[in-house]
Structure 1
Amino acid sequence: MKKTILFILAFGFVFSAQAQFPLGGAVQKPKVTGRITAVILDSLTKKPIDYASVSLLKEKDNKSVNGAVSDERGKVSLQNVTPDQYKMSIGFMGYKSRIISVKTTPEKPDLNAGTIYLSPTESTLKEVAIVGAQALIENKVDKLVYNAEADATNAGGDATDVMRKVPMLSVDMNGNVQLRGSAVRILINGKPSGTMANSVADALKMIPAEQIKSVEVITSPSAKYDAEGSGGIINIITKKKTAEGTSGSINATAGTRSNNGAFNFNVKTGRLAVTTSLGVNHAYPQKSNVVLFNSSVINGVTNTVSQNGYSDWSRVGYNGSVGLDYDINGYNNISSTVKLNRFSNGGPGTNDILVNQVLSQNIRDNDMSFNNMDWNVDYRKTSKKEGEEFSISAQLSTGRNESEFTNRFLTAGVPEIVQFRDNTGKNNEYTLQADYTYPFSKTTTLETGLKGIVRNIVSDYDLNAEDFDYDQNVASAYGVIGFKLTPKITAKAGLRAEYTMIDGMAGNTQGFNNDYFNLFPSLIVSQTLKGMTTIKLSYNRRVQRPSLFYLNPFRNESDIYNPLEGNPKLSPELTDNIEFGYSTFIKGSVINASVFYRSTQDVIESSINPVTENGVNKNLTTYINVGTSQSYGFNLFGSYNPKPKWTLMSNFGLNTYEVNNAANNISTGTLLNYTIYARSAYAFSGGWNTELWGVINSPKRTFQGKTDAMYFYGGAVKKEIFNKTATIGLNVLNPFSRDLNIKTNNSTATSVQRTDIHYPLRSFGLNFSYKFGKLKFTEKKTIKNDDLKKEDQGGMGGGVQQQK
């Protein structure tokens, strides 16, 4: 009943808001609008001119009402044009500007202005051709953008490989991503994915690098975003966007570590657009050598367990999507997308085990699979007032993950022992969201909206088929206003309110519930200084709710001496962030620097606990709210071009780690984490591109121990062929070392746990890509569920997870 009342109140205003739209006046039936299209060509070469600017001005008063830039084919499209008499102004650097008259009528709102030729200026005719390149890194007011499609070395990899080269991010050997040493929320095209609810690291491995257009790093999200992600938000933008005409791309990679394939196809005719994509990934079985040591003192008796063995894991996955986009008219648009994901990994392994000088052998097999479907329906309404927009979105996400393992224990003189366990988890999520944007003026804009999320998680976690049944419902509302304090100072202030209701049952007796209300303020103030220099000060509050991985009480005993289980009674993390940023452009060079402070309550970390079960001593790993964390940090990014075709780039990030809990006598002291990234890229004539890069991640700390530093390095060479419609290349990763050696040490007052893993990382890959047509991307308002803390896939302070 409580849930029903909450959502009725939350969304009752949606239809009333739409009925009053536009704001501040009586309802008016919008006039029919259309579009004006044209093709901009060089008058001498007859080749397309991309990025030519086109402005539409009213004939009677020269007031600008619309504008756009041409794409790679020289095509430009002006949308939402009210029938009238206009002047169209076309210009581009190095060409003479042109002004032509155009007219649209209610009977014929759409107009094709045909081909428009621009003549080069005399100075341009004397110059050699100027070749432009897309910037690899873009620094915007509220985010930093890494343009992955401009990076030659991404071919043949997956999203994990791309993330390793994004400024401010750190990625461990399992593919877990952190932003400046803290948890981060990852979105795909602004939307959550059901796959991410199970395993972020595995989901990233499913996305071929060739499908990624760019990665947005949002360190100071406004209240418009869901409050999830204590460190910020990472938004992966893929290439499967709405495109004019017929276009697509094919990418394929064959390598020693993994094989990837990606296909994208887009069709747009009139007001209807259809997009499709398919990606596949297959990783060969490769051995990871694993050495483990446990020591614990229970009832005054010291017990030791030594293990030496290997795991032989493989991975296969695919993802596909189909999307429809239809412009009902110039004011109304509806779109829908269905995404399917399938992923599985696992394989055999063997460990020689020495328990208090008794030798045995464990022959094991471990398999995990994930199946997910995301279905979105979005409606968007604009008006003749530029910038005004209303949207309503619905999303259904269904996920199913299965995990099973088999252990065979062989000991001389003892009958063989066989252990089998499996777990099936189901995660269903329903979301409804409404957003409204109203520009009071050119300098002041209001954004507001409501959102409701209903989640249900069911997991068969016990040998007696007991269920973990977990319901989480979140209702939220936000308001954000952006305005100019002075011509050079811009501010954006907002407040988000979220009410969370949780109830569940673990087995037949462990019932629990937890309702809480939070306010999440945000403030960003940005000032433009002399030249192209900007400073920014921001504050926001964030939350990190635990996801299924942390909550699921299923006991994973694929390593019987280091079992792992979740904790359904975890509280969410609450984080306050303050950041000061500075960015400037000096003669083509980019410098971006920031300092920040972060305070987090109820930090969630893994915890090892020595236990004795059925006469066997174990180090049980679970998850707890450790305490309060204080962290200070600094980040510096720079890009420099010694020569026009040579780019040097580096990023350095440093942050402190400290956790305290007086009640449990926890005090880690202040420790340092750092990340270093360096890149050198050179473009030769004839379509050749080369690159070398390297990443260093410092030792990672937890309240019980640390994992050693990790080093990644690689290079690539790529050649454009078939008149620049295709490329072929070679990528290498860690070519001089087969394995990445990672050592982890954790300890409590009565136990020690050490692991030494040799993870196979070296790889060589040949890649080929081909594109046909030209894509013209358009963005749509989308649902963004940003409120769940994802797992870090083990390896830190807990039971040893098999490497993938």
Structure 2
Amino acid sequence: MKKLLLLTFILGLFFTAQAQFTGGGFGGGPKKSTVTGRITATILDSLTKKPIDYATISLVNTKDNKSVNGGVTDEKGKLTLQNVSPDSYKLMIGFMGYKTKSVLVTTTPSKPDNNMGTIYISSSENTLADVQVQGTKAVIENKIDRMVYNAEADGTNAGGDATDVMRKVPMLSVDVDGNVQLRGGAVRVLINGKPSGTMASSVADALKMIPAEQIKSVEVITSPSAKYDAEGSGGIINIITKKSNAQGVSGTVNASAGTRQNNGAFNLTAKTGRLSVNASLGTNLAYAQDSRVLFENSTRTDTIGKTTITNIMQDGVSKWSRKGYNGSFGVDYDFNAYNNVSSNIKYNNFSNGGPGSADYVLNGVPFKNISDMDMGFNNFDWNVDYKHTTKKEGEEFTISGQLSSGRNTTDFQNEIIGSSFPAVNNNNTGKNQEYTIQTDYTYPFSKSTILEVGAKGIFRNINSEFSNNANQDFEYKQDVASAYGVISFKLSKKLNFKGGLRSEYTSIDFNTVNPGIQKNNYFNIFPSAIISQTLKGNATLKLSYNRRVQRPSLAYLNPFRNESDQFNIRQGEPTLSPELSDNLELGYSTFIKGSVINASVFYRRTGGVIESSITPLKENGFEKTLSTYINVGVAQTYGANVFASYNPKPKWTLMTNLGVNTYEVSNTQTGLSTGTFLNYNIFGRSAYGFGKGYNFELFGVVNSPRRTYQGKTDAMVFYGASFKKDILNKKGSIGINTLNPFTRDLHIKTVNNSVTTLGNKTSTLYQSTNIYYPLRSFGVNFSYSFGKLKFTEKKKIKNDDVKQDQQQGGMGGVQQ
């Protein structure tokens, strides 16, 4: 009944709004024609008559001298600018080593398309500062509200998965298990603007399911407006996969083979008239490799007149493998110029695990542990979207629905030879059902004043079933109703403002045997505001504020006891509260003679920070360790980020990113204070084109030691290279790549300390883990594109509201 009332409220509110707004919105007014066309041209060298590939084009309105569109030429020097409104423009053409050329172009409602034919540009030592010029296709783009990493332009990604791609995205840090943070804060990961039910279990595992060859780009949104769901204390990451909406038939084929894993990806688009169909298939297989773990656990228990010390030493090897596949199918149809409907289904299947063995020494007594663990994930997503536009340019109404159904299993066996410990054999099945309905409306009062409003309902049902102990079964229901309003306008000629308010009501019911049914309902308001100032030299200064939330997902909540290691038991905590954070950021970006510089400083205050916690646990006369999650306290984070790109030569691009932030957590009730520590992340890349289709790239990433309230994880270093040759008239390529070629293993050491006092007993726990993670790899790759690709963007549902598993990259062992 509660869901029905929420749904009725949302639909009633916005169908009423739509009825009021139809025919001109607030107060009516003249409607501007939305007839749009395209501008095409071919850019050639004036002397050699050869095409200029990757020349940068900017379409500037002659009335206000502002850029309204732009693009980059392809390998044949051809350019197509879509969705151009009838008007008078200047076509600004720039490329390093050539004079910037300006060409006047006009389109009209009766003739919206304009083929400019061939345009010649001549070489020069100079370039204009207002045109971004790069010798190779831009890997990084800076936009007003996000930074975009174009993964398809980075040859070093071939043969990897989404985790490898994330390691090279500016401002992100990725640990050895694949857990992602954005400037030290938790993130919400979307795929094509939508959530995936697979992410509800573990982001780290879900990222390993996506071959790198399927990723077109990654968007990093540090200052989301109130239009976005409020999830993600650090911000939002949106992974855009390869697809197209081209007339005719087009597609891509990618394949890679290597010493670490093999990938395959196929994307196909067919479009005729108003109907477009997209399909994709992907698969990956990671070989089983030995991962070594050295573990030391020491517990000291002090009571009045008595001290007990328990030491556990472990030296073990796990042989884990991974395999997975995914597919999607989408249909898009335009009924007419104002009504569009689209639908997409997506399926993912992924499994990993394998056998392991370890030699233990418990208080000087040796024994051996034999284990085997398998985890499986599969998820089905189906969404339907309807969009209605009017003759008034920019006015838009959408309504979307989404169904997500997921299932994950954990199955482990554990036997300790040479001891009295009983063998353990257990499995857990988690099920996640999610239903979403969303509606949005955009009304432009003018070109610079735009109102956006919307509402959304999310209904989640999570069940966790235990095979050997039904008393531990877990049921969790979460309903979220939200509404938002955003207004953007000009404060002056060069000063822009965008601000909004989002409200979210969360209703939670969960059921455990002890203490039974519980409720946790809360209401939050999330404001956001951004002011941007255009400076001389095409520079921009930006100040933003927003409030965000992190709700714990199934991996944090599930009370299932994972005893794949009987001395280190892991389980979730269903009573966790959400994190709430306030974010303030000041950013600056500019272009200087083809170089890009983006710098920012920020402050974030997060209450109710969720972190992993270890405590001593005594069962059956043995000292063990229990790992779970708790709300630690309040974190205050100060940080800065600098990104720069420079072209020493037309075909040579240098790129770097440096991010630093502080870590400090305090809790006045418990007296906890970690002190202040500095984290940093460094990324560097060099790409050079030798001509005739030969390209070489190098990259390196350094992540600083990572702090938690109980301990520290050592720094991590990744580096790699690729060499690629264009073939088949630049429609295909072959290449080789490597990751960490000079060291087989990545050595990561983690140390945790815990002190627990209960009555007259104090327990001190010291835990040290050394992981030797097999990272070195060599591989070959092939890619081929057919047809002419033209990418479009559709509005989709975005459930950005659940904190994902940032600590758990696979339970019970080290993953590759």
The normalised TM-score by structure 2 is 0.90
Instruction: Give the equivalent residue in structure 2 for 1:384.
Output: 391
Give the CA deviation at 1:38: 8.0
Give per-residue Cα distances to partners, 1:650-672, cap 9 Å, x unaligned: 11111111111122231111111
1:220 aligns with 2:218: no
Q: Which residue of 760, 768, 775 maps to 1:754?
A: 768
1:209 aligns with 2:212: yes
Correspondence list, 1:272-287, <5 A: 272-287=275-290
1:14 aligns with 2:4: no
Q: Which residue of 426, 435, 441 maps to 2:440?
A: 435
Aligned partners of 1:731 and 1:38: how far apart in 2? Answer: 38
Give per-residue Cα distances to partners, 1:355-386, cap 9 Å, x unaligned: 11221111100000000011010001111111
In 2 relative to 1, CA 39–70 (structure 1 residues): closer, same or farther, beyond 3 Å? farther
In 2 relative to 1, CA 120–95 (structure 1 residues): closer, same or farther, beyond 3 Å? farther
In 2 relative to 1, CA 448–706 (structure 1 residues): closer, same or farther, beyond 3 Å? same
Aligned partners of 2:652 and 2:208: how far apart in 1? Answer: 30
In 2 relative to 1, CA 67–102 (structure 1 residues): closer, same or farther, beyond 3 Å? farther
Alpha carbons 1:500, 1:517 under 8 Å: kept: yes
Q: Secondary structure at the match of 1:453?
A: strand
Aligned partners of 1:609 and 1:348: how far apart in 2? Answer: 27
Q: Which residue of 580, 586, 611 maps to 2:586?
A: 580
- Once the two structures are overlaid, the 10-residue window that deviates more, 330-339 or 416-425, is 416-425
In 2 relative to 1, CA 34–221 (structure 1 residues): closer, same or farther, beyond 3 Å? closer
Q: Secondary structure at the match of 1:770?
A: strand
- Once the two structures are overlaid, the 10-residue window that deviates more, 581-590 or 182-191, is 581-590
In 2 relative to 1, CA 70–335 (structure 1 residues): closer, same or farther, beyond 3 Å? farther
Q: Secondary structure at the match of 1:600?
A: strand
Correspondence list, 1:334-733, <5 A: 334-411=341-418, 417-461=422-466, 463-466=468-471, 467-507=473-513, 509-733=515-739
In 2 relative to 1, CA 102–453 (structure 1 residues): closer, same or farther, beyond 3 Å? closer
1:250 aligns with 2:253: yes
> Given residue 427 of structure 1, which amino acid in structure 2 is its aligned partner?
N
Alpha carbons 2:205, 2:809 under 8 Å: kept: no
Q: Which residue of 249, 255, 271 maps to 2:274?
A: 271
Give per-residue Cα distances to partners, 1:374-409, cap 9 Å, x unaligned: 101000111111111110010000000000100122
Aligned partners of 2:40 and 2:490: how far apart in 1? Answer: 37
Aligned partners of 1:791 and 1:173: how far apart in 2? Answer: 14
Give per-residue Cα distances to partners, 1:605-662, cap 9 Å, x unaligned: 0110101112221110010001111111111111122222222211111111111112
Alpha carbons 1:71, 1:776 under 8 Å: kept: no
Aligned partners of 2:586 and 2:26: how far apart in 1? Answer: 41
Q: Secondary structure at the match of 1:663?
A: coil
Q: Secondary structure at the match of 2:410?
A: strand
Instruction: Give the equivalent residue in structure 2 for 1:241.
Output: 244
Alpha carbons 1:717, 1:729 under 8 Å: kept: yes
Alpha carbons 2:326, 2:349 under 8 Å: kept: yes
Aligned partners of 1:52 and 1:601: how far apart in 2? Answer: 46
- Once the two structures are overlaid, the 10-residue window that deviates more, 436-445 or 635-644, is 635-644
Instruction: Give the equivalent residue in structure 2 for 1:186.
Output: 189
Alpha carbons 1:639, 1:647 under 8 Å: kept: yes
> Given residue 633 of structure 2, which amino acid in structure 1 is its aligned partner?
G
1:802 aligns with 2:786: no
Alpha carbons 2:204, 2:809 under 8 Å: kept: no
In 2 relative to 1, CA 258–42 (structure 1 residues): closer, same or farther, beyond 3 Å? closer
Alpha carbons 1:145, 1:216 under 8 Å: kept: yes
> Given residue 442 of structure 1, which amino acid in structure 2 is its aligned partner?
K
Alpha carbons 1:97, 1:118 under 8 Å: kept: no
> Given residue 635 of structure 2, which amino acid in structure 1 is its aligned partner?
S
Aligned partners of 2:730 and 2:474: how far apart in 1? Answer: 55
Give the CA deviation at 1:241: 3.3
Alpha carbons 1:33, 1:331 under 8 Å: kept: no
Paired-residue identity, %: 60
In 2 relative to 1, CA 542–484 (structure 1 residues): closer, same or farther, beyond 3 Å? same
Q: Which residue of 306, 323, 342 maps to 1:316?
A: 323
Aligned partners of 1:96 and 1:305: how far apart in 2? Answer: 75
Alpha carbons 2:562, 2:812 under 8 Å: kept: no
**Higher relative contact order, chain-length normalized (CA < 8 Å, sep 6+):** 2
Give the CA deviation at 1:228: 0.2
Aligned partners of 2:201 and 2:404: how far apart in 1? Answer: 12
In 2 relative to 1, CA 751–88 (structure 1 residues): closer, same or farther, beyond 3 Å? closer
Alpha carbons 2:283, 2:324 under 8 Å: kept: yes
Instruction: Give the equivalent residue in structure 1 for 2:748.
Output: 742
Count the aligned residue pairs.
780
> Given residue 313 of structure 2, which amino acid in structure 1 is its aligned partner?
S
Aligned partners of 1:771 and 1:334: how far apart in 2? Answer: 28
The normalised TM-score by structure 1 is 0.91
> Given residue 769 of structure 2, which amino acid in structure 1 is its aligned partner?
T
Q: Secondary structure at the match of 1:531?
A: helix
> Given residue 250 of structure 2, which amino acid in structure 1 is its aligned partner?
S
Q: Secondary structure at the match of 2:233?
A: coil
| CA RMSD across the alignment | 3.1
Alpha carbons 2:88, 2:104 under 8 Å: kept: no
In 2 relative to 1, CA 80–486 (structure 1 residues): closer, same or farther, beyond 3 Å? closer
Q: Secondary structure at the match of 2:311?
A: strand
